[in-house]
Amino acid sequence: MCEPSWVTTSEALPESLPEPGPAAWGEPRSRTVTWHDPMLVAAGALERSGLEALRAIADGTLPPPPIARLFAMDVVAVEEGRVEFSCALDESAYNPIGVVHGGLVCTLLDTVAGCAVHTTLPRGTGYTSIEIKVNYLRAVHASSGPLTAVGRVTKPGRRVAFAEGEVTDAAGRTVATASSSLLVFPLAG
């Protein structure tokens, strides 16, 4: 399981903003991200079918890829043609208007769509996104999480595969959906 390795604090907005400048910004907050060698997971994935590789990540045989640590994503369930991930949230993903940046949600959708396709691929086969269309349905805040993302293959393929994804908040409300097409290709070993 991917334990988020950051610490944040949250305070209510002051009634009036202090004078501009670094002192007015308050105490800095920090987040530390740790990960393992990404080539270790890539090499382990080369030795396995896509389904076996994702199960190896889920059960801890292989480390998660660095992006999973950066975005605090965990593999929850893996089966052929379907994956489920969770994503912890905090305010470090906020955009300038005080909500979680849509790019985090899009990355989560791209991840589950791609990983769902990966579960259908034989050993030595890779994939990359060609196109993703995201529909954002509601704002996401740190208090909305953790998020759950499910990816499903709608049409597997030897050259192009199609998948869809859905992200729900902790209350079970859909916050975004996506449809994706992915290029399938042999990996150089």
Q: Is the pLDDT of residue 56 over 70?
A: yes
Residues facing residue 128 across a β-bridge: 183
Residue 25 pLDDT level (bands cut at 50, 70, 90): confident
Q: Is the pLDDT of residue 2 over 90?
A: no
- Mean per-residue pLDDT over the chain, rounded: 91
Separation CA 19–CA 163 (nearest Å):
50
Whole-number pLDDT of residue 16: 66
Whole-number pLDDT of residue 21: 76
pLDDT tens digits, one per residue of 81-140: 999 999 999 999 999 999 999 999 999 999 999 999 999 999 999 999 999 999 999 999
Asked if 128 and 115 touch (Cβ cutoff 8 Å), the reply is: no
Whole-number pLDDT of residue 7: 46
Asked if 1 and 73 touch (Cβ cutoff 8 Å), the reply is: no
Separation CA 92–CA 60 (nearest Å):
26
Separation CA 118–CA 35 (nearest Å):
22
Cα Rg of the chain (Å, integer):
18
Measuring CA to CA, how many Å separate 70 from each of 27, 39, 127? Answer: 23, 16, 21
Is domain 35-186 in CATH 3.40.30.10, yes or no?
Answer: no
Whether the pTM exceeds 0.75: the reply is yes
